């Protein structure tokens, strides 16, 4: 099932590049029909599709056991990193479409997510991208 592995690597790398693009001065550009998506407007349709595909592939990859791998633990860190990156991308897209109104408050869980993940999304993107690259080169190592 190397197809699943490469799909996981590509979707995770795209999520990491989109989140970390502001610090590495890279603009990820994809073309879909007549619309162009780049890392600045990743909250549109294509960014949501990338995040959904990354979430689904990551969930499948987490429980997929390849030859010589430890079940579940073998892919844990890269899968959790891709899930977090995809959740950040989906949250950004949701808040871009439905912004908070004046005086509207968010729950404590959402505020904690904003304080931890959204404010540090560039760092999370870089760490996730590094984990994906390490997972690609050292796929047999547990937790990588």
pLDDT, one tens digit per residue, over 76-118 is 889 999 999 999 999 988 888 888 888 888 889 888 988 888 8
Classify residue 33 by burial, with Cβ atoms within 10 Å: 0-12, 13-18, 19+.
Answer: exposed
Residue 86 lies in a domain: yes
**Domain annotation covers residue 144:** no
Segments forming the whole domain that contains residue 48: 2-137
Say if 132 falls within a structural domain.
yes
Q: What's the pTM value of the predicted model, to 2 decimals?
A: 0.82
The residues, ordered by sequence, that sit 6+ positions from 1 with a Cβ below 8 Å of its Cβ are 64, 66
- What is the total count of domains within the chain? 1
Q: Can you state the percent helix, strand and coil of the chain, rounding each to 5? A: 65, 5, 35
Tell me if 126 is assigned to some domain. yes
Beta bridge partners of 35: 32
Q: What is the pLDDT of residues 37-47, one digit of tens each?
A: 555 555 567 78
Place of tokens 């479409």: 97
Is 78 a domain residue? Answer: yes
Say if residues 55 and 86 touch (Cβ distance below 8 Å).
yes
């Amino acid at each position: 099932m190397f197809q699943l592995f490469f799909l996981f690597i590509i979707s995770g790398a795209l999520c990491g590049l989109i989140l970390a693009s502001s610090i590495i001065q890279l603009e990820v550009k994809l073309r879909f029909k007549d619309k162009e998506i780049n890392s600045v407007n990743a909250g549109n349709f294509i960014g949501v599709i990338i995040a959904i595909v990354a979430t689904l592939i990551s969930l499948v990859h987490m429980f997929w056991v390849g030859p010589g791998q430890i079940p579940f633990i073998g892919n844990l860190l890269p899968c959790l990193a891709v899930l977090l990156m995809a959740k950040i991308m989906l949250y950004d897209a949701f808040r871009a479409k439905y912004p908070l109104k004046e005086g509207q408050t968010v729950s404590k869980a959402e505020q904690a997510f904003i304080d931890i993940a959204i404010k540090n999304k560039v760092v999370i993107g870089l760490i996730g991208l590094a984990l994906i690259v390490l997972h690609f080169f050292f796929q047999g190592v547990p937790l990588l």
